[in-house]
Amino acid sequence: MTLPKAEVVRAARRASSGMADRDTPFIFDEWYVAAFSDDVGRALLPRKLLGKNVLLYRTAGGEVVALDDRCAHRSYPLSDGTLEGDTVVCGYHGFRYDAKGDCIEVPAMAKCPRSIGVKRYALVERGPLLWVWMGNAEAADPALIPDTSYHTSPEWACSKEYLHLPGNYVSLHENLLDLTHLSYIHAKSFGSPEYARAPYTTELGYGRFTVRREVIPTVLPPVWADPMGLTGVTTAARIAVSAFESPGLHRVTTSFYDSAVPEGERVVGTICTSHIPTPETRTSTHYHIVHGRNFALDDTVATQVMHDRLFTAFREDVDALTKVEVVLEETAPEDFYEISVPTDGPSVAMRRYLLQRADAEAQARAES
Ligand code: FES
Ligand SMILES: [Fe+2]
């Protein structure tokens, strides 16, 4: 039995203490996806985001509103009230709020006091996504929303789905940045045995972390080989770039072609998947996914087949991270350590960044 020596465990714990984990406070000054656009209509939709209860609804004019889901009177959830026109009427004593979050009617008073209201959060609708800013309202700059314009481009065929992850969002970002797990977690879906050992390069900037992995030659799994016309081809290339773009977005872009075909004559197909984690609680995450491809655009059968196969694989990640969360919950602090290996470099850098951001925000809050 080979257990790590005490000094190795101490070093591992020291390293972990510099990285974000499930106990790290959320980073509020960021854009996160609150919901898919078509989730929100003329009904009151409650959603917990970054540990806060938020109410989402759409006005008659089509604007999406995000309010604190807590009546200013006696804390009744506004989402349990009713939507009347563009106003929300609390289900307890009937206080009425407009779309700005201002209370405009208190039924038991002839005149509504001006000073009652609930917080309204900045929210921007971009294609299929609703981006919300839960932090300092003055810093909510829509220019900071990551570019996902391919979601609505006619040059891409996209599909989307929501998964609920009973695990922390940091684990999901780590999972997405270290694709060596493809050969194991996804052995039956889109992994291939040589993937974990394939050469890779990294770019580790402050707030942006990428891993580029080239697997050449390889045999593509059917999910891409079939629509690309590369079924059975043993000289295929699979080049994946996995990029942490913000605490609320991770993008994986993968290109495929037949490496036996000379450059310039190759047909290159690309898929691009937006993995969109939004913390719900310390131990749960809203996981929105938009997947696109720039080939076989009119092939609706391919869209459905790829969607089904890919989301089967994404559920494998959710299953794995759910298991990890359970183990973390059950592990006593004195027994806990995790040892990183060189391929963890990008995720270690990313987790250090998340911790720095969370610490800086916590300090700013304390000072204000
Ligand atoms: S709790 Fe909402 S009106 Fe009283
Ligand atoms: Fe995965």
Ligand 1 binding residues, C-beta < 6 A: 71, 73-74, 76, 90, 92-95
What dihedral do alpha carbons 260, 266, 267, 269 form, nearest 10°?
80
**Taking a C-beta distance cutoff of 8 angstroms, is the pair 53, 285 a contact?**
no
Looking at residue 368, its pLDDT comes to 82
* Whether residue 107 has a cis bond before it, omega within 30° of 0: no
| CA atoms in the 13 A half-sphere facing the CB of 76 | 15
* ∠ Cα 352 353 355 (to 5°): 65
The number of the ligand nearest the C-alpha atom of 82 reads 1
How far is the C-alpha of 129 from the C-alpha of 34, rounded, in Å? 8
d(CA 177, ligand 2 centre) in Å: 9
Looking at residue 39, its pLDDT comes to 98
From first to last of its 368 residues, the chain has per-residue pLDDT tens of 778 899 999 999 999 999 999 999 999 999 999 999 999 999 999 999 999 999 999 999 999 999 999 999 999 999 999 999 999 999 999 999 999 999 999 999 999 998 999 999 999 999 999 999 999 999 999 999 999 999 999 999 999 999 999 999 999 999 999 878 888 898 887 777 777 778 899 999 999 999 999 999 999 988 889 888 999 999 999 999 999 999 999 999 999 999 999 999 999 999 999 999 999 999 999 999 999 999 989 998 889 989 999 999 999 999 999 999 999 999 999 999 999 999 999 999 999 999 999 999 999 988 88
What dihedral do alpha carbons 40, 42, 43, 47 form, nearest 10°?
20
Q: Whose CA is nearest to atom 4 of ligand 1?
A: 93
Q: Which atom of ligand 1 is nearest to the CA of 76?
A: 1
How far is the C-alpha of 275 from the C-alpha of 1, rounded, in Å? 39
d(CA 75, ligand 1 centre) in Å: 7
Looking at residue 149, its pLDDT comes to 95
What is each CA distance from 362 to 185, 288, 292, 359, 368, in whole angstroms? Answer: 36, 27, 37, 5, 10
Residue 110 DSSP class:
S
Looking at residue 170, its pLDDT comes to 98
3-state helix, strand, coil in the chain (%, to 5): 30, 30, 40
Domains of the chain in sequence order: 39-125 (2.102.10.10), 149-362 (3.90.380.10)
**Taking a C-beta distance cutoff of 8 angstroms, is the pair 56, 45 a contact?**
yes
| CA atoms in the 13 A half-sphere facing the CB of 243 | 16
Q: Which atom of ligand 1 is nearest to the CA of 106?
A: 3
Looking at residue 24, its pLDDT comes to 97
Looking at residue 302, its pLDDT comes to 87
Q: Whose CA is nearest to atom 1 of ligand 1?
A: 74
Q: Whose CA is nearest to atom 3 of ligand 1?
A: 93
How far is the C-alpha of 178 from the C-alpha of 210, rounded, in Å? 10
| CA atoms in the 13 A half-sphere facing the CB of 268 | 13
Looking at residue 188, its pLDDT comes to 81
Looking at residue 178, its pLDDT comes to 87
Nearest CA to 175 among 293, 316, 352? 316
